[in-house]
Amino acid sequence: MSGAAKLTTKDGRGIIIRDGKAADGVGIVNIYRTVGAEKIHITLEDYPFHEYTESRFIKALLKSGSYLAVAEHEKRIVGYCRLERHLAPKREHTAEIAMAILKDYRNIGIGTALTKAGIEWAKTTDLHKLHLSVFATNTAAIALYKKLAFVEEGRRKEQICIDGQYIDEILMGFYLRDKLTREQGNKE
22-54 pLDDT, tens digit per residue, is: 999 999 999 988 888 887 777 655 556 667 688
Percent of the chain with pLDDT over 70: 88
- What torsion do the CA atoms of 98, 137, 48, 37 make, to the nearest 10 degrees? 130
Sorted by where each begins, the domain ranges of the chain are 4-132
Tell me the one-letter amino acid at 15. I
**pLDDT, tens digit (0-9, with 9 covering 90-100), for 109-139:** 999 999 999 999 999 999 999 999 999 999 9
Q: What is the pTM of this model?
A: 0.89
Mean pLDDT on 71-87: 96
Whole-angstrom distance, CA of residue 135 vs CA of residue 139? 8
One of 3.40.50.880, 3.30.365.10, 3.40.630.30, 3.55.50.30 is the CATH number of 4-132, namely 3.40.630.30
Average pLDDT rounded to a whole number, residues 14-26: 96
Question: Which of 177, 157, 154 minimizes the C-alpha distance to 168?
Answer: 157
Give the pLDDT score at 130: 97
Across all residues in the chain, what is the average pLDDT?
Answer: 89
For Cα atoms 2, 176, 182, give the angle at the middle one, nearest 5 degrees.
130
